[in-house]
A and B are shown apart, each in its own frame.
Chain A
């Protein structure tokens, strides 16, 4: 794997890597990619890609409100900072 590819991937994943980490990850990711290359060798022409192997039927929900064990207020308590009921974060605009 080219180091530049790794840098782009890291940026997309919002990861900040220093030079040592880049070097270390570069080797590891290259090894992982080689496993995928191995899989790519298999001839899958004419096969439809499968995303879910064990699905027997549709999994649907009626359009009906459900009460939840976790109350909104409890969920809000997990936020780092609140203003009234808004979650407050540094400006991201």
Chain B
């Protein structure tokens, strides 16, 4: 009976070396107030200067979100009094943002949904505050950090949509290499607004929800809020426009401030920063920094390599993994085999060693070689797992490891025949039992032969030789 509308405001930290408007290091975790200078601490008489890499990343994101890019982007002062910004305004964009009127296609369940992007604008982050007792503590290391805000149109319907959007968006910025997308550490943050109304009656009163530190909280908070507002509508109460905070401990949203005393930010053009007019060369660099979008890549992984949706989902999650996958297939390995190794044994080893695929000793070529050695019968799948361990330990090629460790599959029936005869001689009673009809004991003998061969015998050959020798 009701219809819900959800829009998101996502902030990402741009992965630049320095801050947006000064040459201070943009880095977290350093000692408080060490990455500061007169510009980001708002001392009088300073002059901000735009960080070229940060504005280029901004255009890249806007371009990837299919926005109309501004040929003449402008900066404004957003005025407010709060000690997280010592100069009493934040440099942001208002009239002429980097990009507007874009869209992104995302996958929600089995369907593809197009979400419109209202605008993408560049701004600076505020400092960090800790409130303790009757004092507040200020750290300006984060003040001036280059920040990009992406505002969607209210095209999402339920919490699950918003969660899916955030996951897709996070993947996108990681593909583009502009942000690590870490919500726990605050390098990606999300505020949401939600309204409900009777079907067909358009948008309702907008409630904004803040403090959503993970995509899971976004889902829970929005679904909670839709329920809350539906309940109010059922009772004939009016939903008021307000900002609410998500309380993750109580699983509920709580009022923060009513909109009637909302800030009037009195935006006006930043006199210290001239507009930025991207040159043709700059726009070419932006084009060059784009890559195949994650969703397109996923679909291509399914169509070109025959992966299932779930398999492609796993492989395309990280751009490096998708590149690795394709490189291994290009080197001759079968796609599904590569997927299986990446999603099981390789994943386990990465977890155990704490390494990422990027900086571990396994290359796509090494994995492809390993898989081809199994295919050729040089080594068994079991030996291959050992070889993989050695690759991680010793950083060597699979052939080298097999030669050095004598990890070669024994598939010569004569050689296996000798081992089989020793095993049969040692277990004469079992042989008698099998001859008498107890076929279950055959597995025991296979195990004994494998053990005697140090795990190197080819299981199919062992089985056929055993059968021949025991049953004649």
Judged by a CB distance under 8 angstroms, whether A65 is at the interface is: yes
> With an 8 A cutoff between CB atoms, is B287 at the interface?
no
Residues of B240-284 whose CB lies within 8 A of A: 263-264, 266, 269, 271, 273-277, 279
Question: Which of chain B's residues has its CB closest to A88's CB?
Answer: B135
Within 8 A of B (CB), among A69-85: 70, 72, 75-76, 78, 83-85
CB distance from A93 to the nearest CB of B (A): 4
What total of chain B residues lie within 8 Å of the partner, measured CB to CB?
A: 52
A60-71 interface bits toward B, Cβ cutoff 8 Å, 1 = contact, 0 = none: 111111111010
Q: How far is the CA of A55 from the CA of B49 in the complex (A)?
A: 14
Evaluate whether A72 and B131 lie within 8 angstroms (CB atoms) in the complex, with A63-B18, A65-B17 already known.
no
Q: Are A91 and B131 in contact (CB under 8 A)?
A: yes
Choice from A51, A64, A84 contacting B17 with Cβ under 8 Å: A64
- CB-based contact B138/A52 at 8 Å: no
A93 contact set on B, CB distance < 8 A: 131, 136
**Interface majority SS (helix, strand, loop, mixed), chain A:** loop
For residue B74, which residue of chain A has the nearest CB?
A51
Q: Are B37 and A70 in contact (CB under 8 A)?
A: yes
Cα distance, A82 to B137, chains bound together (Å): 8
Q: A60-B50, A61-B49 are in contact. Are A86 and B274 (CB under 8 A)?
A: no
In the complex, how many angstroms separate the beta carbon of B144 from the nearest chain A beta carbon? Answer: 12
Q: What chain B residues lie within 8 Å of A90 (beta carbons)?
A: 134-136
B26 to nearest A CB, angstroms? 9
- Let me know if B172 is at the binding interface, CB within 8 A: no
Query: Does A44 belong to the interface (CB within 8 Å)?
Result: no
Q: What would 9 A/B residue contacts be, using CB atoms closer than 8 Å?
A: A60-B51, A62-B53, A63-B17, A63-B54, A65-B23, A68-B37, A72-B35, A75-B38, A88-B137
Residues in chain A within 8 A of chain B (CB atoms): 8, 12, 14, 51-52, 55, 58-68, 70, 72, 75-76, 78, 83-93
